[in-house]
Amino acid sequence: MTNLEDALGGIDILAAAEATDTAPTKSALDDKINEYFGGAVVRKDLVKAVRGNAVVPSYVLEYLLGQYAASDDEATIQAGIDSVRQILGTHYVNRNEHMLVKSEIRRRGRHRVIDKVTVTLNDKNDVHEADFENLQVKGVIIDDGTVKRNPKLLVGGVWCICDIEYVHSDDQRVVPWILGSLKPIQVAGVDIDHYYAARKAFTTEEWIDLLMQSIGLNPEQFNERGKLISLTRLVPFVERNYNIVELGPKGTGKSHTFSEFSPNGILISGGEVTVAKLFVNNASGRIGLVGYWDCVAFDEFAANRRTDQNLVNVMKNYLANKSFSRGTSIYGAEASMAFIGNTTHTVPYMLKSSDLFDELPDAYRDPAWLDRIHHYIPGWEVAPIRSEMFSTGYGFVVDYLAEILRAKRSEDFSDKYKNYFTLDSSISTRDQDGIRKTFSGLMKLVHPTGEATEDEVRALLEFAIEGRKRVKDSILRIDATMRDTPVRFRYSDMAGGRHDVATLEESQYPQLYRRDWDAIPESEDGANAGAATGVLPNPATAPSSESSVAAPDAPAQPAPSPLAEGHRDFTAGQRGVSYETLLLPYLRGASTITITDPYIRMPHQGRNLADLLSLLAAAKDDADEIDVLLVTTEESKAEFKHGQLLMLKSIKDASDAVGVRLGVRLDDTIHDRRIETNHGWRIDLGKGLDIWQRPSDNPFDFGRSRQEFRVIGTAFTVHYVKIPVADGGEDAH
């Protein structure tokens, strides 16, 4: 064991203060990814390095990087970057330079371009004609065989590498542009057996992090729940006819996955949708978007106030039956649909005033339409995208992963949970369909071979149930007649134990969540979820004895004792938790406090400690002093050790100045996380003091000054235990 003063003794303070971070290096996971998926992965920060002013989806850039820079050798990567930059500089058509490129094609007679190509049928001349979006060339003849091999050219367009020729003709009716060759930007094929075999070399946590890095996100910036939310956006690509809604604040990356991730999906503006474009054109008989794309995503869906009721009706039938009728014909399709939009109100406001679909156009707030939605992603739980949230590690070339997911669409994992669990019989068939499809999609993503442990299956099943429950509970707010048939969103394990599932907002705002219908009925054994012996009210959702105002329409409840033994459970993504309600009631009056937490290393962890010490200073009498001993571990890496020790020294100086005398003992043998007082309390901290997500880089984020606005990072439990007071009274050390 080492005291802080001893540890600081051998450090050059000035040199330590001036030390700079070393350049980022590959992680152990990156090495493992390259070992098992060499040639199919790419370093994700390279996309930004090569993009320049090329306005193309990420999958186009990663296709090129996969050809030239799919390596972990730095020299190969740099050479590949140079090659991709040269290709883009030479062949990518920048829209405002289209005339320059046309002139170059005319001068050379033939030139290769990278552009988005859309094909139409000229029925007057009985030929297919290609339009080049950025080159602004139309009417180029394309052979029927190429169109047949690439039907998406007919709907929405495809990014391609094309050879264009120029041959002038005196006949003004003849288009001088000739298509020499066309190659869509997509991988030729994938070895799915190798994919399965390599998956077995990764733990579930490692695999989820690999998927996060593959969609361009840094897994270190997300908790387990945040990762699941991000991966759920991929389910429409791996599950047929899957319908999902995500509403949340601006700037959280809702549309990124659908616009940048896959060449098998298309993102369209909600205001641009018509029956002809989406389903079938009665005049031409041509199938619309749902016939060609794996996923059709509607951007800014909540902002679309002009709604075609006929579109809503056709869509309603398609979402439920995977088919639609136009005229006398019935068509089927497999496209999944994602509806994404922004919210302008907070969750408690929506719960108090209306429902979680409040932002949708009125025509889509039809209970029958909403009932077709399989999962509601709580977009308000996703933090605004910041620079550090983008991955610099290795991930799958997105086109490679997109082809894997497409291959998995034909499989069905919806019953994989039945080896361990059974859904409650009160859950309707449509609710079960939503739960099973979400579960199936997540299983294909996280456990592509279908093999998972009971705990791994439980985590995905509970998340799937929660997302469907969020849909159903909002429908119950809109249509009170549907409340007549009670539904319990729960499941049973093989031992007969029943497990209720609640949405996070239901746990966090219970009085608002069920403000306009009866409370949840008691379980068959006569006890409800909050009445178990030893379970203390959650301070984020229940009134405390010190300060609380119940909702006006809530029944009066006795205030629980703040000093009762028991435990409190907290959920990832939860807000409203602070040391003031969680810890301070048990620390008041103590003159000696010992905090044991092995992880007080990072700046935000030091901030947490300083917050607690400042609370103690504010709560004590000005004339009193409190002795606090922090037992923590010392950072092992020299470049970070200096910063940790200097941080602790600064906290000690600030704390000592206000009468909270801080001592620090460094002990590398500790594992437990707890707080003990000399007046008879021990608080066992499941996650130590570091219970929130890392703070954002917004200097005006309210969470910087008020803990109640911070988001819980990972689920944890706090136990409060009464312990004997040492001989000599409460002031004894």
What would the pLDDT profile of 687-726 be if each residue is shown by its tens digit?
A: 899 999 877 778 888 888 899 999 888 889 999 999 988 6
* 25 is a domain residue: no
642, 16 Cβ separation under 8 angstroms: yes
* 275 is a domain residue: yes
- Amino acid letter, 491: Y
* 16 is a domain residue: no
Query: Taking 70 as the threshold, does the pLDDT of residue 516 lie above it?
Result: no
- The DSSP result for 98-113, as a single string, is HHHHHHHHHHHSEEEE
Q: Return mean pLDDT, the chain.
A: 85
540, 510 Cβ separation under 8 angstroms: no
Question: Do 68 and 121 fall into the same domain?
Answer: no
Average pLDDT over residues 105-126: 91
> What distance, in Å, lies between the first and last C-alpha atoms of the chain?
19
Query: Taking 60 as the threshold, does the pLDDT of residue 553 lie above it?
Result: no
Distance CA 261, CA 702 (A): 32
Instruction: State how beta strands 2-3 and 716-722 pair.
Output: unpaired
- By residue range, what is the domain housing residue 173? 95-184
Question: Do 622 and 581 fall into the same domain?
Answer: yes
pLDDT in tens, 249-290: 888 888 888 887 788 888 987 667 788 888 988 777 788 889
Average pLDDT over residues 521-530: 42
Range in 95-109, 473-487, 603-617 the model is least confident about: 473-487
The pLDDT value recorded for residue 207 is: 97
- The DSSP result for 222-244, as a single string, is S-HHHHHHHHHTTHHHHSTT-EE
Question: Do 299 and 330 fall into the same domain?
Answer: yes
Say which CATH number the domain at 162 has. 2.40.50
Helices (H), 340-494: 347-353, 367-370, 398-408, 429-446, 454-478
Could you give the 3-state DSSP secondary structure of residue 335?
A: coil
Residue with tokens 């050219």: 153
Query: Taking 50 as the threshold, does the pLDDT of residue 194 lie above it?
Result: yes
pLDDT in tens, 433-469: 999 999 999 999 999 999 999 999 999 999 999 999 9
- Amino acid letter, 146: T
Average pLDDT over residues 499-522: 76
246, 255 Cβ separation under 8 angstroms: no
Domain boundary at 156, 184, 212, which?
A: 184
Question: Do 374 and 458 fall into the same domain?
Answer: no
Average pLDDT over residues 109-127: 91
Average pLDDT over residues 83-99: 89
The pLDDT value recorded for residue 520 is: 45
The pLDDT value recorded for residue 329 is: 77
Domain boundary at 68, 91, 114, which?
A: 91
Domain boundary at 526, 554, 578, which?
A: 526
The pLDDT value recorded for residue 460 is: 97
Distance CA 441, CA 238 (A): 6
pLDDT in tens, 334-344: 999 999 998 88
Predicted confidence band of residue 1 (pLDDT cuts 50, 70, 90): low
Distance CA 730, CA 686 (A): 26
Question: Do 359 and 446 fall into the same domain?
Answer: no
The pLDDT value recorded for residue 525 is: 43
Predicted confidence band of residue 302 (pLDDT cuts 50, 70, 90): confident
- Amino acid letter, 689: L
Closest CA to 394 of 236, 202, 251, 263: 202
Residue with the larger pLDDT of the pair 529 and 276: 276
Instruction: Kindly calculate the radius of gyration of the chain based on its CA atoms and give it in whole angstroms.
Output: 30
How many separate domains does the chain show? 5
